Structure 1
Amino acid sequence: MARGKGTPRRTRDLADDDDDMSPVSRSPSNAISSPRRAAAGAAAQGTSSPSRLALNHTGNPAAPEKPTRGPLPPSAETTYHQRLRQILVDHRKARRAWIELVIRGLIGRTRAVLELWVDVELALKAIDKQKTVTSSNVRAGYLFAQSAKLSEQIAAVEAVFSNLEDIVANMQSTCERVEYLVIETAKTRGTVFAFREAMWVTWPLARFADGIQSLSMPYIQSLALVRSLLDTLLTFPPLPTSTPPTPFEAESAPTTPATRKSPAEPVKTRPSNEEIQAAMSLLAVQPLLPGKASDWGNDGWEEVLAVEVGGWER
């Protein structure tokens, strides 16, 4: 009987196995952490959260300063870099001087000439209508005074055009300087340094030379156009340059070859108003110069130099 009341050995083994698989088992995977360990785990999770990482990433809003020079340090520059920079600066001065002379000098003085010519025309018409000698002499005196002013204004316009010729000559000299610099660099430092290696950022020396040549050509062509436009705008019939002589002086004045009019000399005719307006518009627009939308205009070229030339100050 005592044997029947005991638990079989196999049954006890199965019961022990059930205790090991129960939810309240003290296995390492189900162990309850202590409060200190739980707090440390929460802090670790909070530190590695995406929002915290984003905050740390943008915590320093100060962006790195943009370098004022190219990747080539100033100490590594050669005399070729310095000479090229000076050539580029001289070319920029010439382009700015051209714009200043055309806009503030040539156009304004040419308009003053056209306005004076209107006064001269009115004086000529008034003299033709006058019947009395006294009023005719008064009108003639005013005509001579305005004619003298007109001659002065025409001389001022021609002086401005002479300055434009000097600017274009300076540009041509700059082109020759940069071309000579490329040849000299190729001889002393090699063709790779002159035609392939970057001077400051990416452009080699030869590419700067090509850019100067391409940017100078429109100014050379524009000079010829300005001369043609001025020939149209400044064409006037012969004007009196002094006070009219008295009848006695006119009769007693000797006739010399210099005072005789050559029959073969052509008489200048004033262009029509439409031709004058068209010439004035072309003079103000400067159609041969590249505009702001062009990559090879002044603005586009300055943007390239600001990036490609070390120490370039706009």
Structure 2
Amino acid sequence: MSSRLASFKGPSTPTSSPVQQRQANSSAPPSPARIVESTYHRKLRTLLQELRSTTETWDDIVLIDGLKAAKSLVDTRTELDNSLARTPNRLPRTRIVGPTLEAMDQRISELDIVLMKLQKQFRKMNTIVESLDALVIEAHKNKGWQWVEKEPLWTTWPLEKFGSGYVVSRVPEILVPYHRALSGHIALVNILKSHSISFDESRDAILKWAEQPWLEEHGWDAGWEDLCSVEIDRWNR
């Protein structure tokens, strides 16, 4: 990301020709302060801010609700194993096993709810991406391909570069890592549901749950937050 953002800063060495320098400056995009925003500027900013908010909610669900339920399930299962190991065989174990199994079932239900919430956030992401594509199509009809594909909105990126029609760096590609992350969380919940799972396996599952490896390099924070702060005026207002 640092190398990509460095390209926005222009030449890093001074020029020997003042005339050439003035010509280069005259071709630079206008500053955001001088840009009169259209409906397309405002809609794009709103859609991308909604997408960012959705990914933030995703992380809260995973790292707060999901992690709490997963850890509680493993802790409850470990406590049951330890209690049974200390209990003589001649004593009735139902007093220990019954309530603990109920507590474990409750944690499993909470994990299922977490998956439902993640699926809901992923559907929201899809809806936002569809709205973004519709915005690009509408702009093509009303503003023309030259404006959509060549005219910088605020800094250097035209509207087309944010949509699915562009070859690289397009926003819709963010759906891929989040879909893989969703599939990974579903697999981990299925692993944690098994009462025969070992403690080491449970610990590894929880670590993978928190790491979200698919999002480490391709999630919103890694791929888009810094770029939007450069390319979109009033991004954090």
TM-score by length of 2: 0.77
Out of 125, 130, 155, the position equivalent to 1:201 is: 155
Aligned position for 2:65: 105
State the shift of 1:297 in Å: 5.1
State the shift of 1:142 in Å: 2.7
Aligned position for 1:91: 51
1:262-277 aligned at under 5 Å gives the runs 270-277=196-203
Aligned position for 2:3: none
Q: Describe the SS at the equivalent of 1:179.
A: helix
Matched, 1:215 2:138: no
Cα distance in 2 for partners of 1:272, 1:125 equals: 15
Out of 213, 216, 220, the position equivalent to 1:290 is: 216
State the shift of 1:81 in Å: 1.0
Out of 301, 307, 311, the position equivalent to 2:224 is: 301
1:252-267 aligned at under 5 Å gives the runs none
Aligned position for 1:234: 193
Cα distance in 1 for partners of 2:47, 2:69 equals: 31
Percent identity between matched residues is 24
State the shift of 1:301 in Å: 1.8
Cα distance in 1 for partners of 2:221, 2:77 equals: 36
Cα distance in 1 for partners of 2:44, 2:96 equals: 57
Aligned position for 2:146: 192
Unpaired runs of 5+ residues, structure 2, are 1-29, 165-169
State the shift of 1:88 in Å: 0.6
Contact 1:178 1:209 in 2 (8 A): yes
Cα distance in 2 for partners of 1:74, 1:180 equals: 27
Cα distance in 2 for partners of 1:176, 1:143 equals: 50
Aligned position for 1:145: 99
Report 1 or 2 for greater relative contact order, CA contacts < 8 Å, sequence distance ≥ 6.
2
Aligned position for 1:121: 81
Matched, 1:160 2:160: no
Cα distance in 2 for partners of 1:74, 1:227 equals: 48
Contact 1:290 1:297 in 2 (8 A): no
Amino acid across the alignment from 1:277: R
Amino acid across the alignment from 1:187: K
Matched, 1:176 2:121: no
Cα distance in 2 for partners of 1:297, 1:181 equals: 21
**TM-superposition CA deviations, 1:229-253 (whole Å, max 9, x none):** 11111112xxxxxxxxxxxxxxxxx
Q: Describe the SS at the equivalent of 2:31.
A: coil
Amino acid across the alignment from 1:86: T
Give the count of matched residue pairs. 203
Structure with higher helix content = 2
Cα distance in 2 for partners of 1:163, 1:77 equals: 35
Matched, 1:281 2:207: yes
Amino acid across the alignment from 1:196: K
Indicate the larger mover: 188-197 or 72-81: 72-81
Contact 2:52 2:220 in 1 (8 A): no
State the shift of 1:84 in Å: 0.6
State the shift of 1:115 in Å: 0.7
Contact 1:200 1:310 in 2 (8 A): yes
Q: CA RMSD in A?
A: 2.2
Bigger Rg, structure 1 or 2: 1
Amino acid across the alignment from 2:188: L
**TM-superposition CA deviations, 1:211-239 (whole Å, max 9, x none):** 32122321111100110111111112xxx
Unpaired runs of 5+ residues, structure 1, are 1-69, 237-269
State the shift of 1:125 in Å: 4.6
